[in-house]
Structure 1
Amino acid sequence: MDHFLMGRELLMSELKEDFLKEFKGITSKGFMEVGQQLTCRRCGSNQPKDRQAAPCTCGKNCFYCIRCLQMGKVKRCNTLYHAPEKNQFILIKEPILTWKGQLSQQQERASKEIETTIKTGQTRLIWAVAGAGKTEMLFKGIEWAIKSGKRVCIASPRTDVCLELTPRLKSAFQPVEQITLYGEMEEGYRYTQLVIATTHQLLRFREAFDVLIIDEIDAFPFNTDKALQFAAQKAKKTTGTIIYLSATPNKQMRQDIVQKKLAASVLPARYHGFALPEPKAIWVGDWRKSIMKRKKKAVIFKEIQRLLQAKRRFLVFVPNIELMLEFSRCLAEFFPDCSFTSVSSEDEQRKKKVQKMRDENYQFMLTTTILERGVTFRDIDVLVLGAEDRTFTEAALIQIAGRVGRHRDFPIGEVRYLHYGQTKALKNAISQIKKMNHLARERGLLIGK
Structure 2
Amino acid sequence: MECEPLYYWSGPRYEWPCINNPCTWQGTLTPYQRHAAERIAEAVRSEDKELLIWAVCGAGKTEMLFPGIAEALTLGKRVCVATPRADVVRELLPRFEASFKHTKIQGLYGGADKKDDASQLTISTTHQLLRYREAFDVMVIDEVDAFPFHKDPSLPYAADRAKTLQSTTVYLTATPRKTHHRRIRQKKLPHIFVPVRFHGHPLPVPLLKMCFTLKKDFQNNQFPPSMIRWLSVRKNPDRQLLIFVPTIELAEKLVETWKVSNLSTAGSAAPVHASDPKREQKVDAFRKRQLDVLVTTTILERGVTFPSVDVAVLHAGHEVFDEAALIQISGRAGRSPDDPEGEVLFFHDGKTESMMKAVREIKNMNRRGGFSRP
Instruction: Output the TM-score relative to the length of structure 2.
Output: 0.91
Are residue 349 (structure 1) and residue 272 (structure 2) matched?
no
Q: Quote the residue 1:177 is aligned against.
A: 104
Q: Deviations over 1:132-174 (max 9, x none)?
A: 1111111111111111111111111112212222222222222
1:225 lines up with 2:133 in the alignment: no
Which residue is 1:104 aligned to? 30
Deviation at 1:397, TM superposition (A): 0.6
1:182-207 superposed Cα distances (whole Å, 9 cap, x missing partner)? 22222252232222221111112111
Is the Cα contact below 8 Å between 2:244 and 2:313 reproduced in 1? yes
What corresponds to 1:393 in structure 2? 322
Residue of 330, 342, 363 corresponding to 1:434: 363
Q: Which has the larger radius of gyration?
A: 1
Are residue 193 (structure 1) and residue 120 (structure 2) matched?
A: yes
Match of 1:340 in 2: 268
Number of equivalenced pairs: 371
CA contact (8 A) 1:84 1:208 kept: no
Q: Which moved more, 1:137-146 or 1:176-185?
A: 176-185
- Identity among equivalent positions (%) equals 40
Equivalent-residue separation in structure 2 for 1:329 and 1:413 (angstroms): 26
Match of 1:205 among 123, 132, 148: 132
Alignment match, 1:250: 177
Cα distance in 2 between the residues matched to 1:355 and 1:170: 18
State the distance in 1 between where 2:347 and 2:99 align: 41
Deviation at 1:311, TM superposition (A): 5.2
With over 3 angstroms needed to count, the CA separation of the structure-2 counterparts of 1:297 and 1:249, relative to structure 1, is: closer
C-alpha separation in 2, matches of 1:96 and 1:411:
32
Deviation at 1:250, TM superposition (A): 1.0
Comparing 310-319 with 237-246, greater Cα deviation is found at 310-319
Deviation (angstroms), 1:301: 2.7
Which of 323, 343, 348 matches 1:414? 343
Among 305, 313, 338, which residue is 1:376 paired with? 305
1:353-407: CA deviations, max 9, x gaps? 3333334344433221122123222221111110000011111111110110001
Shift of 1:263: 0.9
Compute the displacement of 1:300 (Å): 3.2
Distance 1:264 1:188 in 2: 33
Check conservation: 2:243, 2:313, Cα contact below 8 A: yes
SS in 2 for 1:301: helix
Give the letter for the 1:144 counterpart.
Answer: E
CA distance in 2, matches of 1:365, 1:261: 41
Sort the Cα spacing of 1:293 and 1:82 in 2 relative to 1 into closer, same or farther, 3 A.
closer
Q: Secondary structure at the match of 2:369?
A: helix
The verdict on how the C-alpha distance between 1:296 and 1:381 changes in structure 2, with shifts beyond 3 A counting, is closer
SS in structure 1 of the partner of residue 25 of structure 2? coil
Larger deviation: 402-411 or 249-258?
Answer: 249-258
In the aligned structure 2, how far is the partner of 1:100 from the partner of 1:295? Answer: 48
Q: Which AA in structure 2 matches 1:354?
A: V
1:234 aligns with 2:161: yes
- CA distance in 2 between counterparts of 1:353 and 1:145 reads 35
Cα distance in 1, alignment partners of residues 62 and 236 from structure 2: 37
Alignment equivalent of 2:208, drawn from 281, 290, 296: 281
C-alpha displacement of 1:433: 0.8
Aligned partners of 2:108 and 2:115 also within 8 Å: no
Superposed CA RMSD in Å reads: 2.4
1:214 paired to 2:130:
no
User: Secondary structure at the residue paired with 1:426?
Assistant: helix
Q: CA deviation at 1:426?
A: 0.9
Q: Does the 8 A contact of 1:85 with 1:207 survive in 2?
A: no
Q: How much has 1:289 moved relative to structure 2? A: 0.5
Q: Does 1:259 align with 2:186?
A: yes
Return the alpha-carbon distance in structure 2 between the equivalents of residues 164 and 295 of structure 1: 33
Which amino acid in structure 2 is aligned with residue 228 of structure 1? L
CA–CA separation in structure 2 for the residues paired with 1:299 and 1:210: 52
Offset, 1:308:
9.3
Instruction: Give secondary structure in 1 for the equivalent of 2:117.
Output: coil
For the structure 1 residues 279 and 85, does the alpha-carbon distance in structure 2 shift closer, same or farther, using more than 3 Å as the test? farther
The answer as to 2:17 corresponding to 1:90 is yes
- Quickly say closer, same or farther: Cα 1:329–1:193, change in 2 above 3 A: closer
With over 3 angstroms needed to count, the CA separation of the structure-2 counterparts of 1:309 and 1:185, relative to structure 1, is closer
Q: Secondary structure at the match of 1:138?
A: helix
1:135 matched to 2:62 = yes
What is the Cα deviation at residue 294 of structure 1? Answer: 7.5
Gaps (5+ residues) in structure 1?
Answer: 1-68
AA at the equivalent of 1:409 = D
Greater displacement, 283-292 / 219-228: 283-292
Of the structure 1 ranges 197-206 and 180-189, higher mean CA displacement relative to structure 2 is found in 180-189
For 1:245, give the aligned amino acid.
L
Provide the TM-score with structure 1 as the length reference: 0.77
Seen in structure 2, the aligned counterparts of structure 1 residues 309 and 207 have a Cα distance that, compared at 3 Å, is closer
- SS of match in other structure, 2:350: coil
Q: Per the alignment, do residues 310 and 343 of structure 1 end up closer, same or farther by CA in structure 2, a change over 3 Å counting?
A: closer
For residues 263 and 219 of structure 1, the distance between their equivalents in structure 2, rounded to whole angstroms, comes to 20
Residue 209 of structure 1: CA displacement? Answer: 1.3
Distance in 2 (alpha carbons) for counterparts of 1:106 and 1:348:
39
